[in-house]
Amino acid sequence: MKCKVCREHAVVDVRRHNAGFCRDHFVKHIHDQVARTIKDFKMFSPDDRILVAVSGGKDSLAVWDVLLDLGYDATGFYLGLGIGGYSDRSKDAAVAYAEAKDAKLIVRTLAEEHGYTVPELAKLTGRVPCSGCGLNKRYEFNRAALEEGFDILVTGHNLDDEVATLFGNVLHWNTDMLARQAPVLEERVIGRDTVFVKKVKPLVRIAERESAAYALLKGIDYIVEECPMVEGNTQHRYKEAITLLEEASPGTKQQMYFGFLKKAAPKFAGEADDAEVVACSECGAPTIAHEGREPRCSFCKTKALALKRKDERR
Ligand code: SF4
Ligand code: ZN
Ligand code: ZN
């Protein structure tokens, strides 16, 4: 196969676009796709201070790399989850990338910030690791962005991630989640305080295979191994199912996701949970108001439960 731009030997074949690319034109193709996504969805501008949630994996390092190449002011944020050697190696990958690019990286750990790791949290609360992990990541990414004065939080969710989430939401008809599934979540303000920073996903047009190829061709040394806790992660199973459909019919993922955004998402807009949102009495994060009860967010409740049980077991 030849590069669709220069007719040199192609190193990447993008089946859904029925096109091959040489190294340089593939890198340019990814830059262009991301730049178009940022513009089409009005994600951010060169004046914004951007925080990129970096796990050390291909997607988060790829999105950070593209933003730096495009000239954006993008700082990395790595959150240590305490998942044994996997966390050590993922942190090493994030730190090595930041050093190589001379980019700023903020590092925090759950153990230092809150006194537990993801495996400990799972044991203490009796919930699956991914549930506590997801809750803590969402909370800590947002907290770090607000505390450090960033305007935008970027995550490396790619097309496969978004399609898997959409697939799960449709399987269970989570209409309030469908109402909120978008490449941009606007900031949320309570009174005069921003409580949720604006969150964006610039890789929604990039398939997982493409972000891996991008990282490889750019010489980014990302962590290839998967989190050892991924077993039983339902999102992971949906991804496998959708990959089978994509192989049989290239373009399925893109059609499903962008078709949803254009044709179905507006129809779910009215389904968004419009319960009153108030500030958590402990940390100020937004939470649903319940009459006669002190407002407390799910992060604070989970943390309190975990630390209480940890204390009892001492
Ligand atoms: Fe966290 Fe689960 Fe992802 Fe591991 S697989 S990083 S536990 S969400
Ligand atoms: Zn070329
Ligand atoms: Zn709280």
Query: Quick check: 197 and 50 in contact, CB under 8 A?
Result: no
Which of 88, 123, 138, 227, when mutated, tests ligand 1's pocket best, judged by the most ligand atoms within 8 Å of its CB? 227
**Is the minimum distance from the CB of 118 to ligand 1 under 6 angstroms?**
yes
Q: Which amino acid is at 48?
A: D
* 74-98: average pLDDT: 98
Q: Is residue 273 over pLDDT 80?
A: no
- Evaluate: CB of 223 within 6 angstroms of ligand 1: no
For 196-220, write each residue's pLDDT tens digit. 999 999 999 999 999 999 999 999 9
How much is the mean pLDDT over the chain?
94
Q: How confident is the model at residue 293 (pLDDT cuts 50, 70, 90)?
A: confident
> Does residue 134 line the site of ligand 1, with CB under 6 A?
yes
Q: What is the DSSP letter of 163?
A: H
What residues have CB less than 8 Å from 208, skipping those under 6 apart?
Answer: 59, 158, 159, 160, 161, 239
Q: Kindly report the pTM of this predicted structure.
A: 0.95
How many other CB atoms are there within 10 angstroms of residue 196's CB atom? 19
